[in-house]
Amino acid sequence: MTSLLPQLLIKMLQIIKIQYQINIYLLGVLFGKSLTDWDDEEPVNQSYQKLQVDELPVIETLPRLDYRQLLVEYEQQHGKPLKPINRHTNTKTTVPDALTCPQCQAPSAYVYANNGGKGQYQCKVCHCRFNHRSRFAKEVIFRCPHCLKALEKIKERNDYYIHKCKNDNCSFYQANLRRMTPQEKEQFQHAPYAFKVRYLYREFLFDFKPLAPSSPIKTKVDVSRLSVSSHTLGLTLTYHVNYGLSARKTASIMKDVHGLSISHQTVINYANSVALIVQPFVDRFPYELSGSFCGDETYIRVKGCWHYLFFMFDAVKKVVLSYRVSPNRDTFSAICAIDDVLKKLPSIPEDLSFVVDGNPIYLLAQHFFAQHGISFDVHQVIGLTNEDPVSDHSNRSLNDSTERLKATTDPLMDLAQKKARFPLSHSLWRISTSYAHIVP
């Protein structure tokens, strides 16, 4: 029996280790973060995806036809109506009853199965050829701005389609081939996918309408029904928001200096509730803007995970105009951040421009707004030096203002507080030289 005791102890220790790992995993699932990942206290500065953004294509909108009007014109021209298609009873190819022509909206009774059941259809009324995959492409045609050839959709992503110009005689394609060195040309013969030589365009699929009003967010706590007075609430927020003290230090000051016993969680609840109430006021405040707008991204901790805070601000008036939080550094977040700035402008000026970093998502956002008739320029400044062909020396001072603004943010601040406390403190309560050393 004594000889089995060491083996039994080893087995029990293995079981205890397994149970410990299971408990750690369950605690991580319960609280939303791992209790052992101490290395994640600092954000990982991941480089954004390097890609080349080409200029906008030539967008050709096809005329919208009405099959009813076309049927009337056909009867007037030929003296008899255009009959629906008389299909054979033993045909192997069928046309779905819900299928309509994308160009004239003719019903399936006027649609042929054009290539023997391989997916192509032809409308008998307007003679439009289409299939299931390209029926919506008949609504608009994207053409290469260099050769005016129609672009071909080659890839489908979650948020956009990629269209490519496959014309071998395109001036854009030929110019890129001429720029290659002999070594690059030899490599291009074996691995053409390693080079970007053809014109590409990304068609975004975001369900997003620029300059559309947003709905206010309801607070979980009704501030009007708090048991404390408005003076106590204002005093608590003054220490916590204006002076940037932590919730525990604020609770200690309220106890030691003012004799009011409140918990640090109560301070957090006050700040979160008031932040959601103040946010519409911050967004709709009639700022006097200068027209020099800058943007960048920084980090913020949300439920134990690092997210990105996209912010836009007026570089002259030092007013924060946008502060979007997103788990990803993607194009949609850049679109939302720029849209926040556009909403605060009484009218969109013709010389509107934004100074941002070298992330190509801002150029893609520029293309998205151009599709909706909103045009502006994007000037990129990369890093702390101008040792690259993209950076612009004239915008270096604006980029420096952006870096100083990023240094004032607290990445561990609560998300609800950050969405209103930071822009409120920076834009409205901060003493600024732009307003003759007075609070705006």
* Digit-coded pLDDT (tens) for 365-382: 998 888 888 889 998 887
Determine if the pTM surpasses 0.75: no
In a shared domain, residues 244 and 266: yes
Q: Is residue 114 part of a domain?
A: yes
Q: Are 246 and 263 in contact (CB under 8 A)?
A: no
Determine which helix (DSSP H) or strand (DSSP E) holds 100, and give its type and residue range.
Answer: none
Determine which helix (DSSP H) or strand (DSSP E) holds 122, and give its type and residue range.
Answer: strand 120-123
In a shared domain, residues 409 and 304: yes
Report pLDDT for 399.
Answer: 55
H-assigned helices in 107-178 = 171-178
Q: Is residue 176 part of a domain?
A: yes
Q: Is residue 76 part of a domain?
A: yes
In a shared domain, residues 405 and 295: yes
In a shared domain, residues 302 and 351: yes
In a shared domain, residues 381 and 399: yes
Beta strand residue intervals within 327-424, DSSP E: 353-356, 377-380
Least confident of 26-35, 93-102, 159-168, 182-191: 26-35
- Identify the band that residue 240 occupies on the pLDDT scale cut at 50, 70 and 90: confident
- The answer on pLDDT for 147 being more than 90 is yes
In a shared domain, residues 241 and 354: no
Report pLDDT for 198.
Answer: 94
Q: Is residue 214 part of a domain?
A: no
Cα dihedral 265/269/272/278 (nearest 10): -140
In a shared domain, residues 116 and 251: no
Instruction: State which of 138, 154, 175 marks the end of a domain.
Output: 138
In a shared domain, residues 149 and 260: no
* 13 or 282, higher pLDDT: 13
First to last CA, the chain: 83
- The answer on pLDDT for 417 being more than 60 is no
Q: Are 251 and 263 in contact (CB under 8 A)?
A: yes
Q: Are 293 and 407 in contact (CB under 8 A)?
A: no
Q: Is residue 341 part of a domain?
A: yes
> Domain count of the chain?
4
In a shared domain, residues 296 and 407: yes
Domain hosting residue 326, numbered range: 288-435
